[in-house]
Amino acid sequence: MRELDVLLCAYLEREYDNSPGLERVAFESLLELPDPVIADYLLGAAVPADPVLAGVTARVARQDAAAGPSMGLRRNPGLAP
């Protein structure tokens, strides 16, 4: 999904270098997941069980808010990070 690529690349460019080691590992594990699972996490339809991964997905999802509506992703308001 192109939208996921945009969010993940934005996080990589803006946040990754300044993230602690555990967050970097969590981000890398996020990249290994299937796109539908990543989308569920970033849209708030699901929350990762791992708290570090949950924090990383919340930070990545905030890239959507910073980018504005052109990103085309819509969160589930009941589960938004």
What's the pLDDT tens digit per position in 1-15? 688 888 899 999 999
Helices and strands in the chain, H and E counts: 4, 0
Q: What's the fold here for domain 2-71?
A: DNA polymerase; domain 1 (1.10.150)
- Residues 5-53: pLDDT tens digits? 888 999 999 999 999 999 999 999 999 999 999 999 999 999 999 999 9
The better pLDDT of the pair 71, 22 is held by 22
CA-nearest of 12, 80, 1 to 42 is 80
**What token pair was written down for 20?**
């602690």
d(CA 32, CA 38): 9
d(CA 39, CA 48): 12
Query: Does 69 have pLDDT greater than 80?
Result: no
d(CA 12, CA 34): 18
What is the pTM (predicted TM-score) of this model? 0.77
